[in-house]
Structure 1
C-alpha cells in the first residue's frame, strides 16, 4: 500500500487552497484553475478542458445548444430544494420537477442530484469557454449551498412572513419543520376550543394543522385536508377505528389565509372554517381529559409517520378551556384574539410574531414556550449537505430490500453534489466549494466508519437504494487535494467485495445486475489503485471492462436493457424499448478513459469513439430549449423507435450526465505521455490544443466524420516528441499519413497507434487520411441481426415500420469488400444514403424520426456486381451463407482474384452437398460477367 499522502501532495493541496475564488479565466485565472497533477501511476495524462478549444463541427454545434441552456437557466430553481430543506427562504423559485422536486417520482427522493450535475456542467462550460456568466452562476450556487449548510448545522430558526394581522411563521414545503408545544398545552380540559390561522401551500392529504397524541392509539388531530380534501378533526382513545370526527365540506384554498376552529364540550363537537360552522357531531364523547397524558403536542406534524408535514404558514394558535360560542368564533376571523370577546386562549396563545430564533412565546400567562423543530432532528455531523433530510441515509443502514419511495440512492445523490463542488473548486479556485466538499466527506466518514463491514456490504448490494455512483472517484480526487487520511479511508468504505473479488478473478457475475449502479464502481477502483497501489483494484476494473465490451454492448456503444445486464453475449435477445441507458455510456466512457491512462490499449479509445460519436452525440436533440436539456434516458433499439428527449419531466440521471457530456467533448481528443515524450491524437475532431509545457499548439482542421480525414497544423516553438495517431480498428481501407506533403513510410495497422517522431516546427502540417468503408456488425447471438457502420458512424434506417426491416448488401459490393456501392448517396447530405427507397442517416443526428438501428440481413439470391445469377443463396447450419464466405476473402486485388475466390468457394460447397454443380457453374459465370466497383 502506498502512503496516503506525500510531501508533494501536501504542498500541492496547500497551493490549491490558497487560490483566489474570483479570478476570471484569463491566462492567470486559468493557471489558478489548474487541476492536481496526474497521479504517478498514469503513464499518459489528459489535458485540461481549457487547453483544448473546439473548432466548428458537430461537437461545437451540440455544445452550443447546451451552453445556451446553461446561460439562461435560473439556478435558484435548482437551489429551491436545498433552501427548503434548510428552512431558508426559497425566493419564490419553483423546483424543476420530475426527479428534482417533491412532486416527482418517488416523492422526489433523488432531489439534489441534478444540482450537482448542473454545477459540473457550469464548471466545464467555464473552463471550455471562459465566459463569466458560467462563473457567476457557480458562485451563486456555491454561496447558496454554503448558507444551506450553515443553516443545517444549527437548530431551525423562524422564517418570518406576513401574516393575517401582523407576522407569521412559515414552514416551507420540504423543510420538515413543525412546532413542538409543551405537554401542559391541553391542561386536561373537559371542554376545549382550538383555533388557528393557517395558509396552506400544498394540497397533500393528511398534513396536520395540529396533532396531540400518544403514538397512533390515543390522539386528537386537525388535518388541513382529509380523505375528501376538506379539513377534518378527529379524536380517539382506540386508534383509527375508534375516531370520533368532524368532516369539512370544502378544501381550504392554497396560499390564502383560513381560520380554523374546533370546539368540544357537552358531548358535541363543532368544526368552523372562516367563522362558519361546517360540521357538527353531537355524539363526540371524547375530550382531552378522557385521553389523559399524551406524549406529543405538535403543530404541523402527524403521529402517523407516512403523513406529510404541513407546508405553509401559521399565523396564530390559541387554546381555551371552554367551548366558545359561534359568535365568539366569528369574531376571531376578523381580529386578533386579544381584541375579541373571547380574549387570548387561557390554556395557550401563540401569535407567531417572532422574527428570529427558534422559540415562540405563549401569551396565555402559563409560560408554555413552544419550540421550532425538524422532524428528523438534525444532521449527525456539521458537514451534512443535502436537499432532503438525513433520514434516507439513516434508513439505508438498516434496510434489507429496495423501496425507492423510502430510500432512493442517497449516496448517489451525495456523489453528484460532491462532484459538482469539486469541479466548481477546480474551475474557479473557490475555497468555499472545497470546504463544502471536504465537509460532506467528513460527514460521510462519521456515519460509515462506525458501521460493521457486513452492514456496508449489505447496503451497497441493494438495488437502487444502495447505489452510490462515482463517489469513490470523487473522494479520491478530494483526497488528492486535502491529503487527509480520513478521506482515503472513506473511499475504501464503499467496496462491494463480492463483485470486486469476482471481477478481479475474471469471473463474470454481471447477469442480473443493475448496469449503471456498478459501472462507476470500477472507475472509482482505478482511482483507488492510483492512491493505494492495490493491484486488485486495477485488475478488477480491466476485467470488468472486458465483460461489457463487446459482450454486452450494442452497436452504438450503449449497454443494459431496462437498466439491467443480461447474460454474456446476448444482444439480439435483449433488444427492447428501454435498451442503452445513456448514463451507462457516459460511465463506460469515463472508465475507458481512466484505464487508458494506465495502459494505452487502443481498444479503449476505439470504444470511446464508438460511444461518443454515436450514442452520446445522438442522445442530445438538435434543437434549443430553455427549460430542458433535451437528452435521452433510454435509447430503444426496437424497430421504428422514436427517441424521447424529455423523459420523466426532464431531470433524470441521464439528463444530468447529458449536461456534463455536452460540455466536455474535448476532454479526450489529445493525451500526453507522462514524461512529455509523446502526444496522442485519439479523436479526429476540429480543435486547437495548447500544450503549454512544450510551447506548442496543434490545430486540427476537419469536418470529421463528414470528412474522411483530418489536418493537423503545428505552431509555437520547436519541440521534439512522438506524434501518435490512432488508427481506428475499422480503418481497413488504407490509413495514410503525410508530413508537409510527403508520405510517412510504414503500414499503419488498424487498432493501433501510428507514430511519427521528429522535431516539430511552426508551420509543420500533418495530413491523416481515413477512408471509410461500409461494414456490418452482427449481433453476437444472431448473426442475421446486423447494424450498419460507415467508418465510425452508425447508420440507422428512418422508417415508421415497427417490424425489422430486411436488407441485402452484397449486390454491388466492391472488390475491396466495401458494401457502400450498394447504397445510393443523398446529394448534398454527407453520410446520408438510401437503400431500397429507405433513408439511412447517422445515428448522431438528434432527431425525432422513427429509426431502426438493427435490421435483418437477407441475401436470398446470389447477386454479384449487380447481376443476379438466378441461384438461391445457400446457408450452412451456423447461418453462414455462400455470399458470406465469398466476400470473407475481400479485399481482392482485381476481378480475377474475386473470380478465383468464387470458384474455390462454390467447389467446396458443391463437394459438401450444399450447392448443385450446375448452380455452382452459374455462379462462376455470373462472377466473370459482372463488373465491380473498386
Structure 2
C-alpha cells in the first residue's frame, strides 16, 4: 500500500535537507518525522510512544535503569566496528566486546547488530521521555554511519598515523585492507626490511606475502602459531617450507623493525637490528619463485589467516644481503640516510596522508595500491560492520556454519530497524537515506538469485536467520513507496514454512525458535501491504502452535533456543529455557495480530509475558557498561539468572534494551474509526488522545494493587471504553463509573465495554481481586507453577531438586489457594509456605529460584483438618482433591459438601477409594472450617 503524496513530499524534503550541510539541513534534523499512516487493514491502531507517558510503578523503575545506561554508554564504542570496516579513524574507541567485536563468538560475525538495537532504544527513549540527549546521540550515530557508507562506496583511502620516522599508514583491524605492491621478479640474494606496529596478536597475519598461490610463496609473519615472527620460503606448499622462526613475540602497539636476509644458502631473521635466528640449510632462493603473481603487505594467500592489523612504516627490498651493521643502522633513521640507502627493488616511506596509492622511491616506479581483500560493495547502498563476503558466501552455503557465516541478514535487520526508528525520532533525513540505500542494496543482491537458492538460504539454521527484516522492509516501503522495497520484502518468503502454517500443519518441532517467530510478524505486515491472505492465516495459526502448547508459565518459549514437540513442557525444562528474544518477538507478533483480530487471548498472553519474563529479564540494579538482561531464563530448580550472558551484547540484551524503553506501547489502543479506546494493560500511565481532545490518566500500583482508576479530562467526547477482563480475573471484576456500578457482567477473557459521552473529570474504577492459582505442565500435571493474578510467584531456595508443596490444606471456598500461604508484612506479593519465601518473578534479583514445584497432597485435608486418608490418584495424575476443587468456586460450605459427596461416591464406585475412607473424607469435610 503506497503512502499518500504528502508523505513522499516529506521524504523528499527530508532527504534533500540532509544532503545540504547548511542551516536548513541542521534545522530539519531537529524535528521528528511524521510516521506513515497505519495500514488500512488494521481495525485497531496503537498510540505513539510519546502519546503515552509512564507513571511511577514497576515499569518506570525498570525503565529508569535502562535510561541511565542509554545516557551513559559511549556511542563511539558502538561505532568502532563500522568505522574499522571502512578503515576510518576510531578515535581509540574500544568495541563493546562480546558478540559486538572482532574477538566475539564466531569471530564477531554478528557485529553491527548491537548498535542497531541501541539506535532503536535511543529512539524509543527520546519518544517516551522527550530527553533531547537521546536524539543528539542518534544524530551522532547517523552522521558516523553516513561517513562509513561513503567511505565504503569508494576505493580504500590512506589512514595516516604517526610513524617511526614521520608518517605511516594504518590498517585497522576489521578493515580487511592490504597493500598491493609492484615489485616483479626477485634475485637469489635479497633483503626485506619493514617497520611494523602490530595491533593484534592473531597468528599468521602477514607482514609480507609474495608468491603465486598456497604452493609457491615466501612470507614474513608477525606471529606464527607459537606467537613469534617467522619467515618461510617454499615451492611445495606448507609441508616443504624452509623457515626461520624468531624467539620472542613482537610487542603490540609498539614499533618493531623486522629484516630478513637471504644469500648463499643462509637466511637470517633480525628483530630491532639484532639477528635472532638463522637457517644455514636453505636450498631455495627467492628467484625460484620466478615472477610472483602477487606482492602483498598485510595479506596472506591462505584464506583463514587474518589480515595484518596495525601500521606499516618504511618498507624496503634490496637485491643483496645487507650486513649486520647496515641493518643495525636502519634502527636510527630513514633508510635513505643510512649506509644501506633505499632499497633498489622497492622503497616505500608511507608518508602519504590521502589517496589510495603509495609512491616507490626505489627508482623503479612501482606504485603500490591500497586494496580490500573483498574488493568492495556490490551496490552503493551497502552498510555493515563487516565485509559483504558474509552475504555472498551465504548464497552458496548448503549447511549451517556460523563460524563462517552468522546471520548477516539478521544483522542487517537490526541496523535497518535502528535507522528507521532514528529517522522517525529525529527527522534526520540521512537516516532514511541510509535505510533506503540498504533496501536498494539488498534488492540488488537477492532479486537476481533463483528462488530455489533463496529458499535454501532461509532454511539454514543460524546462517540464514534474518530476524524481523520483513517487518522493517515493509515499514521502509510505507515511508518510501518504492516498488523495489515491497518486492524485496517478498524475497524473504520461506514457502515451506508459510504454506505449512497456512494449512495449520505444525512443523515447529526441532526448529530454532527465535529464527522463526519474527518471520510471522513480517508476514502480517506483508499481508497489510499486499492483501495476500496466506500470510495472515499462517501467522494466526503459528501463534496457536506456540501459545499455550509450547509456552512456559512466564510466557517464554524454546529450550536451548529450539522448539520441541507440542505439549512437552516439563520434559523440556532446563538451564537454557525461555530465550528472552523469543518473548520479545512473541509480544510483537501478539500485538500485530491484535490490530487485525481483537482476540483477548493475544493481550492475555501479552500481559503474561510482559509482567513476568520481560520484566524479570532485567536486573534491578544500575550498570554503566551493561544493560543487564538475561539471555536464557533457566526454569530448573534453584536457577540463578545470568544478567550478563556471553560477555554481553547478545541478541537478547539488544531486544532487552528495546523492551525496557517501550513498556507503554500496548497499554492503550484505539479503534481505527476512533469509536473505542481499548485498555489492554493496567499500568500507571497518561494517554493523550489528541483526536478526541482528551487525556486518560490511569492511577494504580498494579500488580501490587488489585485494581486501577482511570480519569478522563479535557473535551467532551463519545467513545466506548473497552476494558480487558483478564482470563485469570475469576474472583470478580467490578467496574464503577463516577461511583455507580457499570451495566453488564464482565466475563473473564473478554473486553467489558462502557460506552458513553465522556466529560471532564469522569472517573472509572476497576477492582479485580487476585486469586492464587496453579498452572499444570501439560505433560506432567503434578509439576506446577503458581500465579497470583497476573504475577508468577517463584520460590526462593538454593535446593537443586523440585520443592514439594501441598496447597489444598486451607483452600478458600472460592477455590483460592492463597490462604495456604502466609503474607510477608510490608512486602506486597511476597508470601511464605513451609518456611520458603515466594516472590514475584518480575523482581530482577540473583536469588536461586524455583519457577515450577512438585505438587504433593499426600492425604485428604479440608480447612487444615487432616482426614488421615491417602489422597488417591488416577492414571493421568489427577487426584481426588483435584476433582473436588475443580468445582470451585463454592457459594457456601453446603455447596462444597455436595461436591465432596459426589466426587467420593464416584471414586468409591470405581474402586479407587475404600468406602470407609470415603466416609472419613466426608466427616472431615463436614467438621472443617473454611476461608470464604
Are 2:695 and 1:697 equivalent residues in the alignment?
yes
Task: Kindly indicate whether the alpha-carbon contact (under 8 Å) linking 2:184 and 2:291 is maintained by their aligned counterparts in 1.
Answer: no
Contact 1:5 1:484 in 2 (8 A): no
Aligned position for 1:247: 245
8 A contact 1:249–1:278 mirrored in 2: yes
Cα offset, 1:634, TM superposition: 0.2
**Pairs within 5 Å for 1:818-857:** 818-857=816-855
Q: State whether residues 268 and 280 of structure 1, in contact with CA within 8 Å, keep that contact through their aligned partners in structure 2.
A: yes
Q: Residue 918 of structure 1 aligns with which residue?
A: 916
Change (3 A) 1:266 1:15: closer
Cα deviation for residue 909 of structure 1 reads 1.0
Matching residue of 1:110: 110
- 1:898 corresponds, among 896, 899, 912, to 896
CA 1:289–1:9 in structure 2 vs 1: closer, same or farther (change >3 Å)? same
Q: Deviations over 1:234-287 (max 9, x none)?
A: 000100011010110000011010010000011111000000000111111211
Whole-angstrom distance in 1 between the partners of 2:179 and 2:414: 33
**Selected match of 2:588 from 587, 590, 606:** 590
Give the whole-Å Cα distance in 2 for the aligned partners of 1:14 and 1:817: 63
Contact 1:9-1:480 within 8 A present in 2 as well:
no
Q: 1:287 to 1:29 in 2, by over 3 A?
A: closer
Counterpart of 2:566 (choices 565, 568, 580) is 568
Q: Secondary structure at the match of 1:811?
A: helix
Between the aligned partners of 1:832 and 1:65, the Cα distance in structure 2 is 23
| Aligned partner (choices 431, 434, 437) of residue 436 of structure 1 | 434
The answer to whether residue 144 in structure 2 is matched with residue 147 in structure 1 is no
The Cα offsets for residues 364-392 of structure 1, whole Å up to 9 and x where unpaired, read as: 00000000000100000000000000010
Residues 1:76 and 2:76 aligned together: yes
**From 383, 400, 403, the counterpart of 1:402:** 400
| Residue 749 in structure 1 maps to residue 780 in structure 2 | no
Alignment of 1:23-102 (within 5 A): 32-102=32-102
Aligned residue for 1:885, secondary structure, equals helix
Report the Cα distance in structure 1 between the residues aligned to 2:29 and 2:850, rounded to whole angstroms: 47
Change in Cα spacing, 1:20 to 1:753, as seen in structure 2 (3 Å) is farther
Picking from 233, 236, 247, the partner of 1:235 is 233
Residues 139-538 of structure 1: pairs in structure 2 closer than 5 A: 139-182=139-182, 185-538=183-536
Q: C-alpha deviations, 1:39-80, integer Å up to 9, x for none?
A: 100000000000000000000000000000110000000000
Partner Cα distance (2:401, 2:410) in 1: 15
1:625–1:195 CA distance, 2 compared to 1 (3 A)? same
* Contact 2:407/2:466, CA 8 A, preserved across alignment: yes
**What is the Cα deviation at residue 186 of structure 1?**
4.8
1:36 Cα offset (Å): 1.6
Contact kept, 8 Å, 1:19 with 1:429, in 2: the verdict is no
Structure 1 stretches of 4+ with a deviation exceeding 6 A read 18-24, 28-31
Secondary structure class of the residue paired with 2:618: coil
Deviation (angstroms), 1:187:
3.3
Deviation per residue, 1:295-329 (Å, 9 max, x gap): 11100001110000000000110000001000000
1:651 maps to 2:649: yes
Q: 1:765 aligns to what?
A: 763
- The Cα of 1:291 is off from its aligned counterpart by 1.2
Is the Cα contact below 8 Å between 1:421 and 1:436 reproduced in 2? yes
Query: In the TM superposition, what is the alpha-carbon distance from 1:708 to its structure 2 partner?
Result: 0.2
Over 3 Å counting, the alpha-carbon distance change for 1:11 and 1:89 in structure 2 is: closer
**Range that drifts further, 9-18 or 797-806:** 9-18
Do the aligned partners of 1:202 and 1:254 also contact (CA within 8 Å) in 2?
yes
Alpha carbons of 1:279 and 1:16: their partners in 2 closer, same or farther (altered >3 Å)? closer
Confirm or deny: 8 A CA contact 1:711 1:765 kept in the other structure.
yes
What runs of 5+ residues in structure 2 fail to find an aligned partner? none
Residue deviations 1:395-432 (CA, integer Å, cap 9, x gap): 00000111111100000000000000000001011100
Task: Answer whether contact 2:686 2:695 (CA < 8 A) is retained.
Answer: yes
Q: After superposition, what is the alpha-carbon deviation per residue over 1:642-689, rounded to whole angstroms, capped at 9, x for unaligned?
A: 000000111000000000000000000000000000000000000000
Instruction: Check if 1:681 corresponds to 2:679.
Output: yes
Q: How does 1:702-741 map to 2 (within 5 A)?
A: 702-741=700-739
Change (3 A) 1:14 1:260: closer
Moved more, 899-908 or 440-449: 899-908
> d(CA) in 1 for partners of 2:265 and 2:18?
71
Task: Quote the Cα distance in structure 2 between the aligned partners of 1:483 and 1:794.
Answer: 45
Preserved contact between residue 211 and residue 295 of structure 2 (Cα < 8 Å): yes
Is the contact between residue 677 and residue 721 of structure 1 (CA under 8 Å) also seen in structure 2?
A: yes
Q: Could you give the per-residue CA deviations for residues 594-634 of structure 1, whole angstroms, max 9, x where no partner exists? A: 00000000000000000000000000000000000000000
CA contact (8 A) 2:637 2:802 kept: yes
Match of residue 806, structure 1, among 786, 804, 810:
804
- How many Å apart are 1:37 and its aligned residue? 1.3
Deviation at 1:188, TM superposition (A): 3.0
Question: Could you list the per-position Cα deviations for residues 214-234 of structure 1 after superposition, in whole angstroms to 9, with x for gaps in the alignment?
Answer: 110000000000122111000
Tell me the distance in 2 between the aligned counterparts of 1:590 and 1:399.
31
Distance of 1:257 and 1:213 partners within structure 2: 26
Contact 1:30 1:50 in 2 (8 A): no
Matched position secondary structure for 1:827: coil
Instruction: Give, in whole Å, the separation in 2 of the partners of 1:23 and 1:157.
Output: 30
TM-score, reference length from structure 1: 0.98
Return closer, same or farther for 1:238/1:522 CA change in 2, 3 Å cut-off.
Answer: same
- Structure 1 residues 579, 19: CA separation in 2 closer, same or farther (over 3 Å shift)? farther
Structure 1 contact 473–525 (Cα < 8 Å) conserved: yes
Q: In structure 2, which of residues 639, 642, 658 is the aligned counterpart of residue 641 of structure 1? A: 639
Distance 2:177 2:18 in 1: 37
Deviations 1:15-34 (A, max 9, x none): 7768889999xxx9998443
Distance 1:853 1:111 in 2: 34
Q: Which residue of structure 1 lines up, in the alignment, with residue 543 of structure 2?
A: 545
Alpha-carbon distance in 1 for matches of 2:36, 2:823? 49
Distance 1:12 1:883, change over 3 A: farther
CA contact (8 A) 1:475 1:487 kept: yes
Separation in structure 1 between the aligned mates of residue 606 and residue 30 of structure 2, nearest angstrom: 27
In structure 1, what is the Cα distance between the partners aligned to 2:317 and 2:890? 97
Contact 2:575-2:636 within 8 A present in 1 as well: yes
- Tell me if structure 2 keeps the 8 A contact 1:630–1:646: yes
Give the deviation of 1:5 after TM superposition.
6.0
Task: Confirm whether residue 134 of structure 1 aligns to residue 134 of structure 2.
Answer: yes
Using the TM superposition, name which of 906-915 and 509-518 deviates more.
906-915
